């Protein structure tokens, strides 16, 4: 038997991209043994037709044609109305997820990044995002009807948590495909939604709770989320064609040393960074002696300055340093601030500390997805690679504040043990992401 293999590019439309092509495998068989080449039980998409081979005999050619499911969309636009619109819509998404969480400092949530990231890559962004929108909004409205702890746990902890997981990772994945050189800034603008929500929602609760009660306060928040998420469902549009094939987990990613070290480092960073966002108000009331209204205002300040922390460092990362180079010193400074918090004993000092921590803590949150996105060169795998690290980090977000709370109880209501825990976590994270930088490049001047 004589075999020859040929590849035909763009047979149907020569103008299509080279990645959108038919791949044909032609095998020339002699007529006498062509049937023997196909094993029992095999099903192939084949088409046989006669050709004249070089030996002059009429043999049968079997053509197997497979259609690639991925079409290269070209380089990211890196700007323009369409791309920046995605950044603004991402801002609204994060305002109604992380901003909603940061605003109260007591919510726990569960993130399903690996699943939603892979589903986004596979082309199921729209149904995942719709499900997340419905779950998040329904959770808020059901919380307004809750009268027991287990009902609040199901409504906010489970329903809102799963909804947020279906919104956060897919929206950032889509946004990252629209930018290249300005990606960090775009993600920073989107991440600033956490600060926006952290200002709007506490202010609403502070004003509405004593006037209309808990139930209608929660419903008011729900209506805000409903309106924002309707706009996002209409406006957010995937740019990269889906990658249907592939495993749920991209195991090859965990063979990349910088990727693994970065994931471990960010686990420790998020184990400690949210302690202040959850417990600053309690510290202000119980340790400093501030009234409840002032503690809420302090929380608003902590989140409000995060607008600068989420945008300015990301802009500098795009312009001069790179996201990973920018993240490393920010984590180090945040770690030092957690240890400095131990010595804060006045209202003015706490406000000053909150302003500085709010900036650097917010920078960690915005540089994290920007750096993670920069570690992925294949946009077809952006969702699953980001989702995997989001899932790893979610366990730190889930367990860090409760551990800190237990340490506060062990210390008899004092915060020293918890502050040391947060500072050490961030310092360990600093070591790991520094190692990731070192393994990626030993040249200190390299922008990355």
- Indicate if the pLDDT at residue 282 is higher than 50: yes
Q: Please give the Cα distance from 196 to 97 (Å, whole number).
A: 11
- Position with higher pLDDT, 289 vs 106: 289
Query: What number is the average pLDDT over the span 112-135?
Result: 84
**Are the CB atoms for 342 and 419 separated by under 8 Å?**
yes
- Indicate if the pLDDT at residue 138 is higher than 80: yes
Tokens (6 digits) for 217: 């306060």
Which of these ranges, 140-154, 226-240, 347-361, has the smallest mean pLDDT? Answer: 140-154
Bridge partners for 22 per DSSP = 67
**Are the CB atoms for 27 and 3 separated by under 8 Å?**
yes
pLDDT at 103: 53
Query: What number is the average pLDDT over the span 21-42?
Result: 38
Place of tokens 């406006």: 235
Place of tokens 């420790």: 268
Q: Please give the Cα distance from 319 to 39 (Å, whole number).
A: 59
pLDDT band at 314 (very low <50, low <70, confident <90, very high): very high
Query: What number is the average pLDDT over the span 5-13?
Result: 41
CA distances, 38 to each of 33, 34, 43, 46, 62 (Å): 10, 8, 9, 11, 11
Using a cut of 0.75, tell me whether the model's pTM lies above it.
no
- Indicate if the pLDDT at residue 32 is higher than 80: no
Instruction: Spell out the domain ranges in the chain.
Output: 1-68, 80-440
Q: Please give the Cα distance from 79 to 88 (Å, whole number).
A: 12
Query: What number is the average pLDDT over the span 35-49?
Result: 39
DSSP 371-407: HHHHT---GGGHHHHHHHHHHHHHHHHHHHHHHHHHH
| Percent of all residues in the chain with a pLDDT value above 90, rounded to a whole number | 42
Q: Please give the Cα distance from 209 to 218 (Å, whole number).
A: 9
Q: Exposed, middle or buried: residue 347 (CB in 10 Å: 0-12, 13-18, 19+)?
A: middle
| Percent of all residues in the chain with a pLDDT value above 70, rounded to a whole number | 80
User: Coil, helix or strand for 133?
Assistant: helix
- Indicate if the pLDDT at residue 428 is higher than 90: yes
Q: Which fold, 80-440?
A: Growth Hormone; Chain: A; (1.20.1250)
Q: Please give the Cα distance from 74 to 180 (Å, whole number).
A: 12
- Indicate if the pLDDT at residue 216 is higher than 60: yes
pLDDT band at 300 (very low <50, low <70, confident <90, very high): confident
Of residues 84, 83, 130, 160, the one with CA closest to residue 234: 130
Q: Please give the Cα distance from 41 to 171 (Å, whole number).
A: 44
pLDDT band at 81 (very low <50, low <70, confident <90, very high): very high
- Indicate if the pLDDT at residue 320 is higher than 50: yes
pLDDT band at 116 (very low <50, low <70, confident <90, very high): confident
Query: What number is the average pLDDT over the span 335-347?
Result: 96
User: Coil, helix or strand for 19?
Assistant: coil
What is the arrangement of strands in the sheet containing 58-67, beginning at the earlier edge strand? 22-29, 58-67, 46-52
pLDDT at 111: 42
Q: Please give the Cα distance from 232 to 99 (Å, whole number).
A: 16
């Amino acid at each position: 038997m004589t075999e020859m293999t040929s590849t035909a590019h763009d047979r149907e439309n020569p103008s299509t991209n080279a990645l959108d092509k038919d791949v044909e495998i032609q095998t020339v068989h002699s007529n006498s043994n062509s049937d023997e080449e196909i094993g029992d039980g095999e099903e192939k998409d084949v088409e046989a037709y006669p050709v004249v081979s070089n030996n002059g005999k009429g043999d049968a050619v079997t053509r197997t044609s497979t259609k690639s499911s991925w079409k290269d969309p070209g380089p990211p636009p890196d700007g323009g109305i369409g791309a920046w619109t995605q950044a603004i819509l991402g801002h609204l998404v994060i305002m109604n997820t992380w901003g909603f969480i940061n605003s109260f400092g007591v919510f726990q949530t569960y993130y399903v990044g690996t699943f939603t990231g892979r589903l986004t890559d596979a082309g199921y962004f729209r149904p995942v995002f719709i499900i997340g929108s419905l779950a998040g909004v329904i959770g808020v409205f059901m919380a307004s009807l809750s009268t027991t702890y287990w009902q609040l746990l199901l409504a906010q902890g489970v329903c809102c948590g799963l909804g947020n997981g279906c919104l956060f990772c897919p929206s950032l994945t889509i946004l990252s495909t629209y930018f290249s050189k300005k990606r960090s800034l775009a993600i920073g603008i989107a991440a600033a939604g956490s600060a926006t929500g952290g200002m709007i929602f506490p202010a609403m609760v502070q004003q509405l709770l004593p006037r209309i009660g808990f139930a209608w306060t929660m419903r008011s928040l729900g209506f805000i989320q409903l309106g924002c998420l309707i706009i996002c469902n209409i406006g957010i549009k995937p740019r990269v064609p889906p990658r249907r094939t592939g495993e749920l987990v991209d195991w090859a990613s965990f063979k990349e040393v910088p990727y693994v070290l970065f994931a471990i480092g960010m686990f420790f960073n998020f184990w400690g960074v949210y302690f202040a966002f959850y417990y600053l108000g309690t510290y202000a009331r119980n340790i400093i002696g501030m009234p409840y209204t002032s503690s809420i205002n302090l929380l608003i300040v902590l989140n409000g300055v995060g607008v600068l922390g989420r945008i300015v460092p990301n802009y500098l990362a795009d312009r001069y340093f790179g996201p990973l180079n920018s993240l490393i010193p920010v984590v180090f400074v945040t770690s030092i601030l957690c240890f400095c918090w131990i010595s804060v004993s006045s209202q003015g000092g706490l406000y000053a500390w909150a302003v500085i921590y709010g900036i650097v803590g917010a920078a960690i949150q915005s540089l994290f997805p920007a750096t993670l996105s920069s570690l992925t060169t294949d946009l077809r795998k952006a969702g699953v690679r980001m989702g995997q690290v989001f899932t790893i980090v979610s366990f730190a977000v889930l367990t860090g504040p409760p551990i800190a709370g237990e340490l506060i109880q062990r210390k008899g209501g004092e915060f020293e043990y918890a502050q040391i825990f947060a500072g050490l976590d961030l310092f360990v994270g600093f070591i790991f992401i520094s190692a990731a930088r070192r393994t990626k490049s030993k040249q200190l001047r390299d922008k990355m």
